[in-house]
Structure 1
Amino acid sequence: MIYFTHLSISKSRINEKEEIILSHVRKEGKSWYYAIDLGKDANGKRKIKKKRGFKTEREARKALLEVESQLSKGVFIEPSKILYEEFLHDWIKDKQISVKNSTLETYKGIVNGHIIPSLGKLKLSEITARHIQNLIRDLFLNKTLSDENIQKVYTIIKDSLNSAMKFDLLAQNVCNKVDRPKAQKKEMQVWDIEEVQKFLDTAINDRAYLVFHLALTTGMRQAEILGLRWKNVDLKNGIIYVKEQLERYTHNFTSVKTKSSNRNIAIPDKTIFELKKQRKLINEERLLSGENYTHYDLVCPTSVGTPYLPSNLTKIFRRIIKEAGVKKIRFHDMRHTHATLLLKQNTNPKIVAERLGHSNTRTTLDIYSHLLPNMQKDTAKMFGDMLFSVNSQTN
């Protein structure tokens, strides 16, 4: 049995003509629905929008009033029937013109591996905040991704739904109702002087030795080391010019991460010696390989001139760590080790920030704040010794 419960008449501008629009709320079986006349389409046929599945009359009436309000303001968007996975594929294509290839590959991996399997078969208009919250929760509980990548899942969903709104496929972004997941900060692992020396002594005969040497002596990022070319190395003055990096999934050279990442790094005599030795090795390998050698002018290439694959470099890194018997850390932690050792020897934080390519000293101090208590203690002792040793001599 169908119960007529509500009839409203409102005015709206359709094709610049004023027409009467009818709407109503009714009960059908055990649930409620609303219907509203949206006017005529391009062929002159009337468009009636119906929305079913409301548990109560109040819910249906509230939803209808929202549609009527949007119509009166001229901002109503008819719910899209496009599947979310179809839209995401287009969204990825659009991103090609605004992000780097490495970022694009990250997006693809997250979209295809985690978002589409969970939400892809839903129509854009069917996605709710609850759907998104369930996905975020499941990823967190199942430890499927790191906290940082779960944040990326959230960011991609939010950005893609914003894009759908721009194309008038959605009236609102339901992701705004979901709190951005928090990432638990990973505890920083660094080596002390003894561990650095043990690691380098073990790695010295490995083909990739210079990669690790530069990471520890300059604090450069992995992509910056792999993208370092001889044209940006001044052996005479002992300076490395960090201007570009190598994209993770291609052999393309791109600009460095930020404006502040474009920097000059002074290097010690030992590093100059290792660079000269590396250049000699590369020249020998080019002669031996002949036409099989791929020349990119890289400072740290494989034996045939090609860039190292990060995954292969990680395997080498872990093997040497095991052989050296030192604490297991990530490749990026060698950058942290470099900064930590400098700060512990009371290097001015501004100099450390410049070597790392941080935009300001505050960024550096925020990252390495765990060192501050000990540094304060050492500074207080040095100041006390200086001040009171002078007083004691004069008394």
Structure 2
Amino acid sequence: MAKGDGSITEVRRGVWRVRIDFGTNPVTGKRTVVSRNVHGTKAEARKVRDQIRREHESGLTVDGDKLTFREFADSWHSSRVDAGEVSSIRLDRERNQIKLLSGYIGDQRLRDITPQTVESLYAAIRRDKVKARGKCSGTTMNQIHKLLKQIMKKAVDFELILRNPCDRVRAPRCETPERRSLTVDEGIRLLECVGREDAEAYAALTDKEARQTERGNLFGRSYLRGLSRVGNVVAVRIGLATGMRRGEVFGLTWGSVALNQAGISSISVRQAITAKGELKAPKGKDESSIRVLSIDACTADHMREWKMRQALELLKLGIKQNDSTPVCCSDKGGYMNLANFERWWRIFRNKYGFDDLKFHELRHTQATQLLANGYDVKTVQTRMGHASATLTLNQYAHAIPENDESAARFIGDLFTAKPVKGRLIELKTA
């Protein structure tokens, strides 16, 4: 029998051993031999032999036919963890999504997963809100689809399957998030509330430190309660003034802040902090680049005041303020825990009547108001740190009712104007 034809031997009644020797692998130098036991008739054993030969001829890894989705997906994820090229937050999300997928198709062989399997899988996830923890939005399903497609593509690359079943399945449509931004009046009121909270935070810090002085406990402490409260207020002020992301604001250090008395003050966005307390490059087209944002005089004055006060208070903890000191620090003088900020933010919002305001909506507000007031898209794109102007327009150019009404009046006046010597009467636009 020629090499690769295979042999069929009866082991015992109703059990046949199929064995095919494909010769020496030119890359590994090892012989490739596939052996299977088939329960049934000799004709069924021939079918298995022929299937193995077809898979080998098509380029599939013949010894990978028993590999399940769970085994391969876990191995794929482990390799991404070891590579260290993906953020821990994304890896955690992938791990949870792989666990979810494995709950449905984990025991299925990779080669048995078809486009129909994938479509049935998505339908099952949408129905089973308990297993999916209720997160069955279109955006979540789109993320799951992209992950599954990525895993199956790697299986194709490893010659474990012939084609990616996800290629023939339409990706679930992402939901368009509701992006709320503050009106001008709301922004003014928010800034007034920030001012009141600012004064209260400073006063509370001063009173508390006065009591510590009376007790002789001014220095040598491990933390100074009240630092974080002022830092949180400063964070809101920076967010409204610059449109920086929350992680960028709390990753900001004094070395990235230029507070000029005479000229324009600015902030350089160099890093961001994650919910896990890890520092990373900010989002953008080129993560190695630094975006520089000018800040208004009022914001600069408040930051200058805070910098001087913070320096004095940190000395009580034995910390000398320098370029690496976080602008919005914790009570211990280090980087703020974002969960602690969110707790304070919830209290602040409820206190001043901004119950449902998200910190990220300060960013939406900046972009929307700049675009609505005639600033060019490129300037707004730069301040937002977006990869393209299209992204800026798609995400942050909210409709302003007043602008739409003005546009309607302009068009109405434009086409009802009386021509004068072949030209339209010059119109005054709102």
TM-score interval, smaller chain = 0.7 to 0.9
Matched, 1:247 2:253: no
Can you list the C-alpha shifts for 1:9-60, whole angstroms capped at 9, x where unaligned?
xx9xxxxx6443579xxxxxxxxxx9976446978977247599xxxx9xx9
Q: CA deviation at 1:240?
A: 0.9
Q: CA deviation at 1:220?
A: 0.9
Letter in structure 1 aligned against 2:105: L
Can you list the C-alpha shifts for 1:91-131, whole angstroms capped at 9, x where unaligned?
2222132212332233233334x233333344434444444
CA distance in 1, matches of 2:136, 2:340: 21
CA distance in 2, matches of 1:51, 1:156: 37
Structure 2 matches for 1:261-340, cutoff 5 A? 262-290=290-318, 296-326=324-354, 328-340=356-368
Structure 2 matches for 1:1-395, cutoff 5 A? 18-21=3-6, 38-39=20-21, 47-48=35-36, 69-75=54-60, 77-96=62-81, 97=83, 98-112=85-99, 114-141=100-127, 142=129, 143-203=134-194, 204-205=197-198, 206-207=229-230, 208-236=232-260, 237-254=264-281, 256-259=283-286, 262-290=290-318, 296-326=324-354, 328-371=356-399, 374-375=402-403, 378=406, 387-388=426-427
Structure 1 residues without counterparts, runs of 5 or longer: 1-10, 12-16, 24-33, 391-395
Q: CA deviation at 1:219?
A: 0.9
TM-score (norm 1): 0.75
CA distance in 2, matches of 1:88, 1:75: 18
Q: CA deviation at 1:321?
A: 2.0
Secondary structure of 1:290's counterpart equals coil
Q: Are the equivalent residues in 2 in contact too, given 1:294–1:304 (CA < 8 A)? A: no
Q: Which residue of 2 aligns with 1:393?
A: none
Task: Rate the CA distance shift 1:35–1:352 in 2: closer, same or farther, 3 A.
Answer: farther
Task: Rate the CA distance shift 1:20–1:181 in 2: closer, same or farther, 3 A.
Answer: same
Can you list the C-alpha shifts for 1:300-355, whole angstroms capped at 9, x where unaligned?
12121232333333333233222221362332221111111212222222221111
CA distance in 1, matches of 2:191, 2:160: 57
Q: Are the equivalent residues in 1 in contact too, given 2:349–2:355 (CA < 8 A)? A: yes
Q: Are the equivalent residues in 2 in contact too, given 1:229–1:297 (CA < 8 A)? A: yes
Structure 2 residues without counterparts, runs of 5 or longer: 9-15, 24-29, 199-228, 415-424
Can you list the C-alpha shifts for 1:269-308, whole angstroms capped at 9, x where unaligned?
1110121122123223312223799995211121212323
- From the two aligned structures, give the one with the greater strand fraction: 1
TM-score (norm 2): 0.69
Q: CA deviation at 1:381?
A: 6.3
Secondary structure of 2:293's counterpart equals strand
Letter in structure 1 aligned against 2:370: L
CA distance in 2, matches of 1:364, 1:375: 18
State percent identity of aligned pairs: 20
Q: CA deviation at 1:389?
A: 6.2
CA distance in 2, matches of 1:122, 1:191: 50
Task: Rate the CA distance shift 1:74–1:110 in 2: closer, same or farther, 3 A.
Answer: closer
Letter in structure 2 aligned against 1:47: S
Task: Rate the CA distance shift 1:40–1:67 in 2: closer, same or farther, 3 A.
Answer: closer
Letter in structure 1 aligned against 2:274: E
Relative to structure 2, which stretch is displaced further, 323-332 or 370-379?
Answer: 370-379
Letter in structure 1 aligned against 2:5: I
Q: CA deviation at 1:265?
A: 0.8
Q: Are the equivalent residues in 2 in contact too, given 1:191–1:337 (CA < 8 A)? A: yes
Q: Are the equivalent residues in 1 in contact too, given 2:6–2:49 (CA < 8 A)? A: no
Provide the aligned C-alpha RMSD in A. 3.9
